[in-house]
Amino acid sequence: MKKFYLLLIPALFLMFSCTQKETDPMIEKEAIKVVIEKEFSAYINQDLVKLLETVIQDENTIRISIGVKGYQERLGWDNVYPYYKKSVQTDWTDFTEINVDRSNFNFLICDESAFVLFNQTMHYKYKGESQESLSKETRMLKKVKGDWKIQVVQFVDLSSFEGKAEKVF
């Protein structure tokens, strides 16, 4: 639970320090979706050059995953970059026909920063057998020289917790 606060604190800061500029929110939301798709596509296609175009590379870069392999946290570009580099060198030939659906987007856009929450369903074949995974994704982005870049990636692989989820309303 302590790890949850890593994202909660920046999100609250963003929310309470927000002043809206005169920008078209629909244009900003679409631009953010394009960056999220580009980052995911580059990752799946193991294209490190394109992936690096989508992320901020500094000491505040964060990548957090929660799933089958437990909780994994990489803080700072020095820890995130080796993960990306290793992932593009890994043999993923057993995975084919990868398709992604994203839904339930929630945006908080303030000036040059954005907090985005969405669902992601990935359909693919593993060794020829159809598979599906569902995740809850969070991104924090900043505008760098007019372009949205990803600062924080967090995903929770909900498929890892099938039958264990507790609904709270």
Predicted TM-score of the model (pTM): 0.82
Is pLDDT of 19 > 80?
no
Give residue 147's pLDDT.
96
Strands (E), 50-146: 62-67, 70-75, 95-110, 113-126, 129-144
CA pair distance 39, 45, nearest whole angstrom: 10
In CATH terms, the fold of domain 22-159 is Nuclear Transport Factor 2; Chain: A, (3.10.450)
Is pLDDT of 16 > 50?
no
pLDDT band of residue 12 (cuts 50, 70, 90) is: very low
Q: pLDDT tens across 55-108, in order?
A: 999 999 999 999 988 999 999 999 999 999 999 999 999 999 999 999 999 999
Q: Are 4 and 136 in contact (CB under 8 A)?
A: no
Q: Enumerate the domain spans of the chain.
A: 22-159
